[in-house]
Homo-oligomer: A and B are copies of this chain.
Amino acid sequence: MTKALRISIDAMGGDHGPSVVVPGAALALERHPDMRFMMFGEEALVRPLLDERPALARATEFRHAAVSVKMDDKPSQALRVGRYKSSMWLALQAVRDGEAQACVSAGNTGALMAMSMFCLKTMAQVERPAIAAIWPTVRGESIVLDVGASIGADASHYVNLAVLGAAMARIVFDVERPTVGILNVGREEIKGIEAVKEASRMLREAQFPHLAYHGFVEGDDIGKGTVDVVVTEGFTGNIALKTAEGTAKQIGAYLKAAMSRTLMAKIGYLFAKGAFDALKAKMDPSRVNGGVFLGLEGAVIKSHGGADEKGIAAAIDIAYDMAHYDLMRTIREMLEQTPAVPPG
């Protein structure tokens, strides 16, 4: 029998801290009873919540952490105060030391990225780590990266992003050769900024065994699910992600207003409630919660800070998949296969 998978959890992260992180872990454990946890946090707050959940308590090794990184700490502040002793740092350290195979935190993104880079280090072949989001589409799901780890990209960083995203797609979508597109303002090869055009040429020539380069895609291709992996730099990716979230909320608000405006609409709503609930579940951001940090020497999953316990469980599910199917090995293999393409 193989050794059980261990996920290390920063119990103090997120807007609601242990009160949703611990129940979230319990929920994830129900779905993957073979999973084990290492949990880091303030003992007085976390232990009672564990004690209420005997199955979770049995599956968890808890360790006290005296310091918690705050949601509004700047990365430098978090590093100064939290290095070596915060729940966030210790959860990452467990991955670094091989005690756990993936780390989950709902703590603040900047701090988690800074600590991840400091504690786990960036992979040698990778310029800068990226954050990948799983994006629901009409065809299922796609991976979009970078959604905000760093700003700006040259051609080789775009190629890195394509390789990292494809490695994740192989695991998440279980396809041998995921399709990859670069986000641009048009599909024609002459459009867009120089870095994007050069990266496109490099990816077209590279002929990766595990990456099918599709070409440029546009903003509306993301929701269509045109490709498995959408590559963009962090500034644009972050704005695209938040714009889509905003649009979904906006339409939800329209829909709610429309369904309560007339008596007929209210009656219609009652009949169609099951359908509306299904739609709501489909649009529920907690369903696909979890940004994956890619390009680090270890798997780190960032849950949305405002996530509820379902959201935390979804992030842990992703961590489980990343560990179970060995994301790190897949990434290393794919980076080794990356042909050296001379730029320009």
A74 — nearest CB in chain B belongs to which residue?
Answer: B190
Number of interface residues of A (CB under 8 A): 60
Residues of B close to A137: CB separation below 8 A: 250
A263 — nearest CB in chain B belongs to which residue?
Answer: B271
Which residues 234-269 of A sit at the B interface, judged by CB distance below 8 A? Answer: 234-236, 238-251, 253-255, 258-259, 261-262, 264-265, 267-269
Contact B273 A268 (CB under 8 A): yes
Residues of B close to A218: CB separation below 8 A: 239, 242
Asked if A340 is at the interface of the complex by the 8 Å CB criterion, the answer is no
Contact A248 B251 (CB under 8 A): yes
Assuming the A-B contacts A247-B244, A283-B251, are A239 and B219 also in contact, with contact meaning beta carbons closer than 8 angstroms in the complex? Answer: yes
In the complex, how many angstroms separate the beta carbon of A202 from the nearest chain B beta carbon?
A: 19
Contact A138 B274 (CB under 8 A): no
Pairs A–B under 8 Å by Cβ, sample size 18: A136-B250, A138-B250, A138-B253, A151-B192, A183-B239, A218-B242, A219-B238, A219-B240, A219-B241, A224-B250, A236-B239, A240-B243, A244-B247, A259-B272, A259-B275, A264-B275, A267-B268, A268-B271
- Given A151-B185, A192-B235, A264-B271, list of 10 further CB < 8 A pairs? A151-B192, A151-B193, A185-B235, A220-B242, A220-B249, A239-B240, A247-B247, A254-B279, A258-B272, A268-B273
Interface residues of A (CB under 8 A from B): 74, 136-138, 148, 151-152, 183, 185, 190, 192-193, 218-224, 232, 234-236, 238-251, 253-255, 258-259, 261-262, 264-265, 267-276, 278-279, 282-283
Query: Which 8 residue pairs of A and B lie closest in terms of their CB atoms, listed nearest first?
Result: A268-B272, A219-B242, A268-B271, A220-B246, A223-B246, A219-B243, A265-B275, A223-B250
